[in-house]
Structure formats: C-alpha cells, structure tokens
Amino acid sequence: MKVSFFNSRSWQPGLPGAMSIMSWNCQGLGNPSAVPTLRDLARKYRLDILFLCETLVHANRIEEVRVRLGFDASFVVDKIGRSGGLAIFWKYPFGCNLINYSQNFVNMEVIRPHYPIHRLLWVSRE
C-alpha cells in the first residue's frame, strides 16, 4: 500500500463544486500506448481524480505513471501474480481519506476545502 501527498500543483476552477472523475479498466499499463493515452485523456477532460483497475503492474511503476500524468497524489493496491492492481490519482486541492480497501475495491472520502465531503467506492470485479 502506498499513499503520497504533494501540494505543488496550481488548480484552475471550473463549475463551483464540480469534480472531473474518470474510471478506466486499462487491462495493463505495460502497453506502450497506455500512459500517453491516459495523459491525453487527463488533459482533455481536466481530470481531478482518476481510478485505474487491472493495472497489472507493481506499485513502484504506478508512481512513475502518477508523475507522467501530472497528478499530485496516489493510492495503490498492488497486483497479485498476473492479475489485478488498482490505482487512484488525484490533484490538489482535493484530498482523499482511505476508509477501507481490498484487492477488488477502494472506499474513500474525497475532501475539498469549503465543499461537502463526497464518498467514492471504486470496484473492480475479477
């Protein structure tokens, strides 16, 4: 399990209280086009939070992906053998508090100053 926090990114507001969230079954980040495709999507839709399932890579590789995609923090559930792997990335000023997790789900609260707390449950079925 890995959680890291950074406060180095400026944020451009959109609609008051709006979040841009994406969930993607990437079927492995080993494909050379996976990370550039994700980077393009993250930029196009100005994603605040990104959930990836079936990453099929170890947590240390996810940290590289987080940096390349321009996110400030991440939470990773490592793969087991040749399957699984969950990753959640987010940008400042959002903060994520982990409630609980397993190999198939992550349950967390999303916190943004001066806005209500949101609860997100990310599920991956195998």
Within a domain: residue 53? yes
Q: What is the CATH number of the domain that holds 47?
A: 3.60.10.10
Per the domain annotation, does 71 fall within a domain?
A: yes
What is the torsional sign of CA 121, 104, 50, 42?
A: negative
Residue 11 forms part of a structural domain: no
In a domain, 5, yes or no: no
pLDDT given for residue 16 in this prediction: 56
Residue 3 in contact with residue 73, Cβ under 8 Å? Answer: yes
pTM: 0.82
Structural domain total, the chain = 1
In a domain, 65, yes or no: yes
Dump pLDDT digits (tens) for 67-122: 999 999 999 999 888 888 999 999 999 999 999 999 899 999 999 988 888 889 98
Domain that holds residue 70: 19-123
Report yes or no on 85 lying in a domain. Answer: yes
pLDDT per residue as tens digits for the range 5-37: 333 344 444 445 678 899 999 888 888 899 999
Closest CA to 86 of 96, 72, 101: 101
Is residue 14, in this structure, part of any structural domain at all? no
Domain assignment present for residue 32? The answer is yes
